[in-house]
A and B are shown apart, each in its own frame.
Chain A
Amino acid sequence: DAGITQSPRHKVTETGTPVTLRCHQTENHRYMYWYRQDPGHGLRLIHYSYGVKDTDKGEVSDGYSVSRSKTEDFLLTLESATSSQTSVYFCAISDPGHPNTEAFFGQGTRLTVV
């Protein structure tokens, strides 16, 4: 299994509070991604990173920010959590520059905003 760890695995938080999710990899892959998965919508890209301090927005980036200060860590912050951000969040890693490099996913973080 690829070395990718998400923390926490489960979190319940109150509306309006900031929340940070962490993705840690040991594969030295250049690209890291944050997705959310919701019934009826599938997996939607929030933000991704193509290197240290290099990030870009996905299709559902409003209300989220990210940071990548080192290769192995990619943080997703909900600046002021809302109930619509209740979801399962997945981190993924990839290295498109290497042939036959698959994307690997973490086990997910289940976030509930009450």
Chain B
Amino acid sequence: KQEVTQIPAALSVPEGENLVLNCSFTDSAIYNLQWFRQDPGKGLTSLLLIQSSQREQTSGRLNASLDKSSGRSTLYIAASQPGDSATYLCAYMNRDDKIIFGKGTRLHILP
């Protein structure tokens, strides 16, 4: 069964800290991997997309890496802010073009 595991399930950190969210997947034949943000009661907002041939992508304070051989991706958030509080979801597209999601990490940035 194709699975995505996100650790930790929840995280609270003081404002200003750098932090890392982890995502691991069991399928080695992925097409791409994407990180999303979801605010309570809202839809999903795409943050970063990494193609299978890429190792990382950066957008502002966010950096995502991909290691297909170990089945891992990380999302690095620099200088965290209270507005970063949300649930962060990792998902990959497999070779059947299905998008498989993890259960997310609930992030709370303390002012």
Contact = CB atoms under 8 A, between A and B. Distances in A.
A45 B98 contact: yes
A42 B104 CA distance: 7
A105 interface: yes
B46 interface: yes
Contacts of A92: 44, 99
A41 B103 contact: yes
A99 B103 CA distance: 26
Interface string B88-104: 01010100011111111
Interface string A90-114: 1010101001111111111000000
A99 B51 contact: yes
Contacts of A108: 42-43
Nearest to A42: B103
A107 B51 CA distance: 25
Contact of A102 (B31, B34, B89): B34
B13 interface: no
Contacts of B46: 102-105
B99 A42 contact: no
Contact of B49 (A45, A58, A90, A100): A100
A90 to B, nearest CB: 7
Interface in B15-57: 31-32, 34, 36, 42-46, 49, 51
Interface of A: 31, 33, 35, 40-45, 48, 50, 58, 90, 92, 94, 96, 99-108
Interface of B: 31-32, 34, 36, 42-46, 49, 51, 89, 91, 93, 97-104
24 contacts: A31-B97, A33-B99, A41-B103, A42-B89, A42-B102, A42-B104, A43-B89, A43-B91, A45-B98, A48-B97, A90-B44, A92-B44, A92-B99, A100-B49, A101-B49, A103-B46, A103-B91, A103-B93, A103-B99, A105-B45, A105-B46, A107-B42, A107-B43, A108-B42
